[in-house]
Amino acid sequence: MAERVLAEVAEGVAALRAAGVTPSLATVLVGDDDASAGYIRIKQRQAAELGFASPHVHLPASASQADLHAVLADFNADAGVHGVLVQHPIPGHLDYDRALQVLDPDKDVDGMHPVNMGRLALGLPGPLPCTPAGIEALLAYHGVPVASREVVVLGRGATLGRPLAMLLAQKRATANAAVTVVHTGVADWPRYTRRAEILVAAAGVPGIVRPEHVRPGAVVVGGGVRYEGRRLLPDVDESCARVAGAITPRVGGVGPTTVAMLFRNALRAARGRS
């Protein structure tokens, strides 16, 4: 699915270039975290392969909040920059959420700006949060019916559980679900996950979803992960594959679809301004 979306993005970028517009996705890295630098390099390489220009700013770990805001203000003011990506996490003395609020919502390719969350809540057009949008697209691509089915999302976090619940409850052919959200405030959450026709793990607690939490034949989507160093520990225990009707793979699950949605948002931002 991710490959198909990226191929469509490449075509869209080529069409804009042919019309004299060079789509541009700017990236910002703060500090010297090896993993973050690696992720930014991968996204820049992918941006170049898809035909995006990708101006990059690397701020030192000692950068102030005002330094970061100044970089974002420059990109906001630059009509040649259509999307901006701030790699997170950023150093602990900086406030990511505050920086995000400085960014022009129309250039927010992560879809996480409060204005974009508001647009999602109201059903207005705007960049969608990438991981939730990727999950909706993934279900649609694999022909998993969502409309009128019971979806249970384990986790109400701002990047995944909460926006996904809003998205899948929207009035649209690939959504229209009966969505239930469970979290630490619901002590007996397995009562809900066991009746889910589609179960999405979005907790960030390795191995929290086990076969006894899954309704036999259910579709299980593993979104939550925790990194220990470079080791990726998913929420969904691999043994769930024995019970599930369909399940996202441990590696290559919602990560690639998230990245595909990021570039789709960047293309749409470029189209919106051209």
Ligand X SMILES: NC(=O)c1ccc[n+]([C@@H]2O[C@H](COP(=O)([O-])OP(=O)(O)OC[C@H]3O[C@@H](n4cnc5c(N)ncnc54)[C@H](OP(=O)(O)O)[C@@H]3O)[C@@H](O)[C@H]2O)c1
Q: Which positions make up the binding site for NADP(+)?
A: 155-157, 225
**E strands within 90-177?**
150-154
CB 13 within 8 A of CB 267: yes
Residue type at 200 in one-letter notation: V
- Compare residues 183 and 210 and give the one whose CB is closer to ligand X: 183
Determine how β-strand 231-234 pairs with β-strand 225-228.
antiparallel
Catalytic residue among 46, 106, 108, 110: 110
* 87 labelled catalytic: yes
Report the side by side order of strands in the sheet with 25-30. Answer: 56-59, 25-30, 83-86
Structure tokens at 112: 């996480």
* 170 labelled catalytic: no
Residue 207 binds ligand X (CB under 6 A):
no
Q: What is the maximal distance between C-alpha atoms in the chain?
A: 57
User: How many residues form the binding site for ligand X (CB under 6 A)?
Assistant: 25
Alpha-carbon gap, residue 188 to 165, rounded angstroms: 19
Buried b (16+ CB within 10 A) or exposed e, 165-187: bbbbeeeeebbbbebbbbeeeee
**How many other CB atoms sit within 10 Å of the CB of residue 62?**
10
Piece of the chain touching ligand X by CB under 6 A; list 92-100, 102-110, 168-176, 222-230? 222-230
- Compare residues 63 and 109 and give the one whose CB is closer to ligand X: 109
- Compare residues 147 and 158 and give the one whose CB is closer to ligand X: 158
CB 211 within 8 A of CB 239: yes
Q: Which of residues 122-151 bind ligand X (CB under 6 A)?
A: 131
Catalytic residue among 87, 107, 235, 237: 87
- Compare residues 23 and 155 and give the one whose CB is closer to ligand X: 155
DSSP state of 204: -
Piece of the chain touching ligand X by CB under 6 A; list 38-46, 101-109, 136-144, 179-187? 179-187
Residue 203 binds ligand X (CB under 6 A):
yes
- Which residues sit in the known binding site? 155-157, 225
Residue 111 binds ligand X (CB under 6 A):
no
Beta partners for residue 28, in sequence order: 57, 86
Piece of the chain touching ligand X by CB under 6 A; list 24-32, 94-102, 168-176, 219-227? 219-227
Piece of the chain touching ligand X by CB under 6 A; list 53-61, 98-106, 142-150, 199-207? 199-207
Catalytic residues: 43, 87, 110
Q: Which residues bind ligand X (CB under 6 A)?
A: 131, 154-161, 183-185, 189, 202-205, 208, 223-226, 254-255, 258
